[in-house]
Structure 1
Amino acid sequence: MTAASLIAPGRAVAVRVPATSANLGPGFDTLGLALSVYDELTVTTLPDRRVEITVTGEGEGEVPTDASHLVVRAIAYAFESCGRQMPGIHLSAHNTIPHGRGMGSSGAAVVAGLLAAKGLLAGDVELGPSMLLRLATELEGHPDNVAPALFGGLTIAWMEPDGPQSKKLLVHRGVSPLVFVPGFTMSTSAARELAPLQVTREDAVFNVSRSALLIAALTQSPELLMAATEDKLHQSYRAQAMPETDRLVQSLRAEGFAAVVSGAGPSVLVLADGPGKRLAAAELATRVTDTPWEALMLAVDVRGGTVRDYTEGSTGYS
């Protein structure tokens, strides 16, 4: 008997997944931070094999509304990986994570689909943290965004022969994230192609030292964030494709703000060591560039993605 026949029509789950910022300067493809911007969705099973999708907010009228939707693809991938047949579903998504801006929107969609599948399969198949991270990495291609989206906080992600691994760390309460989001987008794949396949030993050692220092700065010593966010592996190579982003990063750093490219860009992440400092950074941004930037004063999300039973009359969590 397949899981599709075991899941009654009308069963529903609600999912909430945070935005993420990867790399954080020197931690290329390794470090990620969960941020307090969220995509929220509900998935309800249907009596047949149809896929219905409604999208509001970010991506409305732009993302596909059929089985090629990334959330639906992730749900299907999870069911297939568990040897189960996906039922028909109605997906209702409200997105607030900006698309194509380096804030992990695709990773969040993948995680949202996998968590929805986890909720729907509860009681039949258990999708644990390791399995979720493996499936998410297979779909996304690398774990640096999906790990914080799944688990929250600051995550270190790495690959072992048996699959991706991650470690979650709590961020010092003095760290105050600020993200500048522009009106233009950047293709993650295009940005990745600009980073060189080989670097000098000196640059590699430079980034190893800064990545290690960044862990200390984010968890214990925020006053070290300026030095800790220096990078020689990817940001300077991508600057040619994002001149406005590079200009803002350099202007902020020149005034002592720990600014980096958020993920593949074009958004800019500032890791301020206090709320007052990020207000000053936001004010500076209005003076040093003609590009309009939306300043998002955010917190570090510590929970990561969540799923709960949303079936009428239920208050249970899976």
Structure 2
Amino acid sequence: MLKIKVPASTANIGAGFDCFGLALKLYNEFEFAKTDSDDLIFLENGKTSSIALEDNLIYHSMLEAFKKYDFKHRGFYINVVTSEVPLSRGLGSSATCIAAGIHAANYFMDNIMTEQEIINLATQIEGHPDNVVPALVGGFNISLIENDNVVYSKINTPDDLLFAALIPDFKMSTENSRKVLPLEYSKSDCVFNISRASMLISSLYKRDYSKLRICLQDKIHQPFRGPSIKGMEDIFNKAKDFNALGEFISGSGSTLMLIIEKNNTEFLNKMETFLKTAEACWKIKLLEPDLSGTVVIDSKECEKNSKSVLED
């Protein structure tokens, strides 16, 4: 029996489309155990889940790992213990499922996978590394794919920053959000993004926050996804008034992410007051970076809890 804890992540971070990602202290937690049958017992908070088996990304990720290593298996018990990361909001909920599923499979295969193999398989399932890499290893990462191998570099994230996640009551599917993007971009738009993505890394290293808002500008995805996020421009303008350092769409949306300094103690109250006047219903969470990534715990307490559920 084991318990797996995976952090949320915010991807793109302005101009870093499909390659920048940051893990955040917001978590999904999962329990796994083998069963004596060939059935899958899938629960959410100890109750039977309504998710169809073919849509179960956790189990699908386990099966992909088993298939890759030709591992013979029977049934499993999977319980989503905690689900703090909302679905289809641009906070890496699918990455948490993929990371948990692969790590669980690796555990049941006696940990035969290397970290690199886990990262490569997770990226293959997700389609891009921006969310899965930070979900797996924690921190702020730049990731790229070279000959089917994921290469990543972890960037030091200043400890005096907070990330304010503004989470609305409406979803945005990653698949649909990608459909609105152009198939081609001009050279000037590419240079625009390269320059800002590069300067963002420099600004974080130097703690030069005066450039963050410029660095978070983008011409690859935000101009095309922004119109679907009701009230985004008004929120971004208010964020400036409340002394935020910069703003961006988290992943493909619908969550908006604002960067603030920890000593900006008035920000939360001011933004919460403003959001009450917004057209949509928004929740705001002040989050710190998660530096640990996926944590796997072989827990006897998990075993005790799962046995009681199975007996019921």
Whether TM exceeds 0.5 here: the answer is yes
Q: More deviation in 245-254 or 182-191?
A: 245-254
The answer for the alignment partner of 1:33 in structure 2 is 22
Instruction: Please tell me the residue identity of whatever aligns with 1:282.
Output: M
Cα distance change on mapping 1:313 and 1:139 into 2, 3 Å: closer
Task: Determine whether 1:200 maps to 2:189.
Answer: no
- Describe the SS at the equivalent of 1:216: helix
Partner residue, 1:115: 103
User: Within 1, Cα distance between the matches of 2:270 and 2:91?
Assistant: 19
Match of 2:114 among 128, 137, 161: 128
Aligned partner of residue 73 in structure 1, secondary structure: helix
Q: Is the 8 A contact 1:119 1:308 kept in 2?
A: no
Instruction: Give me the whole-angstrom Cα distance separating, in 1, the residues matched to 2:285 and 2:200.
Output: 22
Decide which moves more: 176-185 or 211-220.
211-220
CA distance in 2, matches of 1:254, 1:201: 33
**How do residues 50-65 of structure 1 correspond to structure 2 at under 5 angstroms?**
50-56=39-45, 63-64=51-52
Q: Deviations over 1:81-133 (max 9, x none)?
A: 111023311001121100011000011111110111122222xx521111011
Aligned pair 1:233/2:193, yes or no?
Answer: no
Question: Hey, what does 2:64 align to over in structure 1?
Answer: 77
Residue 301 (structure 1) aligned with residue 290 (structure 2): yes
RMSD, aligned α-carbons: 2.3
Secondary structure at 1:155's aligned position in 2? strand
Cα deviation for residue 70 of structure 1 reads 0.7
Report which stretch shifted further, 285-294 or 258-267.
Answer: 285-294
Tell me if the contact between 1:226 and 1:256 (Cα under 8 Å) persists in the aligned partners. Answer: no
Q: One-letter code of the match for 1:176?
A: L
Matched, 1:46 2:35: yes
Find the aligned partners of 2:51 and 2:274 in 1 and give their Cα distance.
Answer: 31
> Aligned AA for 2:76?
I
Task: Indicate if the aligned counterparts of 2:272 and 2:284 stay in contact, CA closer than 8 A.
Answer: no
- Contact between 2:42 and 2:49, CA under 8 Å: does it hold in 1? no
- Amino acid corresponding to residue 9 of structure 2 in structure 1: T
CA distance in 2, matches of 1:269, 1:181: 9
Superposed CA deviations along residues 260-317 of structure 1, whole A, max 9, x for unmatched, are: 1110001111111334164366246426623221110111000001112124699xxx
Is the CA contact 1:249–1:261 (under 8 Å) kept in the aligned structure 2?
Answer: no
Paired residues of 1:41 and 1:91 also in contact (CA < 8 A): yes
Does the C-alpha gap of structure 1 residues 313 and 99 become closer, same or farther in structure 2, counting only changes over 3 Å? closer
Pairing 1:117-156 to 2, within 5 Å after superposition: 117-122=105-110, 125-156=111-142
Determine the C-alpha separation between the residues in 2 that align with 1:281 and 1:153.
28
Q: How does 1:1-318 map to 2 (within 5 A)?
A: 12-56=1-45, 63-64=51-52, 66=53, 68-93=55-80, 94-122=82-110, 125-223=111-209, 224-253=211-240, 257=244, 258-276=246-264, 278-279=267-268, 282-283=271-272, 285-286=274-275, 289-311=278-300
What is the distance in 2 between the residues matched to 1:174 and 1:312? Answer: 36
How many pairs are equivalent? Answer: 299
| AA aligned opposite 2:180 | L
Deviation string 1:33-70 (CA, Å, 9 cap, x unpaired) is 0000100011011112110011139x985533x36411
Q: Structure 1 vs Structure 2: percent identity of aligned residues?
A: 28
Q: Which residue in 1 is equivalent to 2:306?
A: none
